[in-house]
Structure formats: C-alpha cells, structure tokens
Amino acid sequence: MQKMMVIAVLLLLVALVGCQAPAPVAEPKPQPVEAPQPKPAARAPVAPAPAPIPIPTASDRALAEGVRLFDAGDFNGAIKELLGAKEIWDVTTSGSIANKLAAHKYLAFSYCVTNRRTQCRQQFVDAIKLDTNFSLEPAEKTHPVWGPEFDRAKVQASAPAAPAGRQTPSAAPPPNPPKAK
C-alpha cells in the first residue's frame, strides 16, 4: 500500500504542476518606430570646368582667313592674305611656329594649284627648314600636284648647303667662249 501512496502523491504532484498557470510571458515593449531617414542624395559627379576658350590671336585670325580663302577656291586671295599677314611671320608678334607651318603649307598648296610649282616647292622647303618633322597628312601626300613637289622639297631641304660665295659645279654658269676677232 505504501507503494500506492507514493504513486498517488506523485500523480497529485504531476496534476498540480500541470494545472498551474503558465508563467506570464512578458510582452516585448513596442519599439518606437523611427521614420525612415531619407538617404542622402547621391552627389552627381561634378564635371570639370570646361577648358577656357582660347582667344584667337591676330596670327590665328590671319591664318584662318587665308585658309578660308583657299577652301573657297580663291587661291590668289589666299596667297595675298597669307603673305601679307605680318602677324604670322613677325617673331615679335603672336605668330607661332604652328601657324607659320600651316601658312607655308597653304601657300604651297595655293601655288601648286595655280601652276607655280617652283614657289610651291620653296614653301615646302621653308616649312621643312622651320621644322624638320614637318610632313603632310597621308591624303595630302597623294595629291597629284603638291605630293610630288613635297617629295622634291624634302630632297632639296636635306641637301647640304653650298658654302657662301661658292657655287656648286652643276649650278656654275658655263664659261664664256673666247671672242673671235
């Protein structure tokens, strides 16, 4: 019987434990809802300031006018403009090497198309002497008139100069024949 009593007590304990109200569950405190923070606006990439527009010099303007005349087909007008533009040729003004080279080139082109090949070639020689790296664009080199003149000018410009006061034998005038009496 004692055994039964122990079993009964155990059952009673189990029953009592099972009947107890569960421990209160603490409700989580509501967290204050934060308003969504606006994301900082992505900064647009800052474009670099545009390069300052160069103010054309008098040399630039004179060259542009000569090129405009050439492009318009007024080759004699281009020659007159470019040769008369002291702004291009005078070293004490704003004339740059690049402008001088361009002026020589357009003078050569103008002389060539007006059938003044010697003057055309001389302009190329002057440009090559001013800048030994002077060259024409590939399309310009194939021009039927000034392409060959440019090639001759390169040869002429690279030929050694004769000493001052002396002429080369090929350039010397033929001797005067003796006069008959």
- State the pLDDT confidence band at 50, using cuts at 50, 70 and 90: confident
What number is the average pLDDT over the span 5-22?
58
What number is the average pLDDT over the span 21-37?
65
For residue range 71-117, list pLDDT tens digits in order: 999 999 999 999 999 989 886 665 689 999 999 999 999 999 999 99
Q: What pLDDT is recorded for position 52? A: 81
Q: What pLDDT is recorded for position 36? A: 67
- Classify 76 as helix, strand or coil: helix
Q: Do 88 and 116 contact (CB within 8 A), yes or no?
A: no
pTM over 0.75: no
> Minimum mean pLDDT among 12-21, 40-49, 128-137: which range?
12-21
Q: Is pLDDT at 180 greater than 60 in this prediction?
A: no
- State the pLDDT confidence band at 138, using cuts at 50, 70 and 90: very high
Is 141 or 171 the better-scoring residue by pLDDT? 141
Q: Do 85 and 63 contact (CB within 8 A), yes or no?
A: yes
Q: What pLDDT is recorded for position 177? A: 45
Is 122 or 46 the better-scoring residue by pLDDT? 122
Task: Let me know how long the chain is.
Answer: 181
Is 48 or 44 the better-scoring residue by pLDDT? 48
Q: Do 102 and 67 contact (CB within 8 A), yes or no?
A: yes
Q: What pLDDT is recorded for position 35? A: 66
What number is the average pLDDT over the span 118-139?
95
- State the pLDDT confidence band at 12, using cuts at 50, 70 and 90: low
Domains of the chain as residue ranges with CATH: 58-159 (1.25.40.10)
What number is the average pLDDT over the span 139-168?
82
Q: What pLDDT is recorded for position 127? A: 95
Single-letter code of the amino acid located at 85: A
Helix axes 117-130, 97-113, angle to 10 degrees: 160
CA angle 116, 133, 107 (to 5 degrees): 25
Residues near 178 by Cβ (< 8 Å), separated by ≥ 6? Answer: none
Residues near 93 by Cβ (< 8 Å), separated by ≥ 6? Answer: 58, 59, 86, 87
Q: Do 111 and 119 contact (CB within 8 A), yes or no?
A: yes
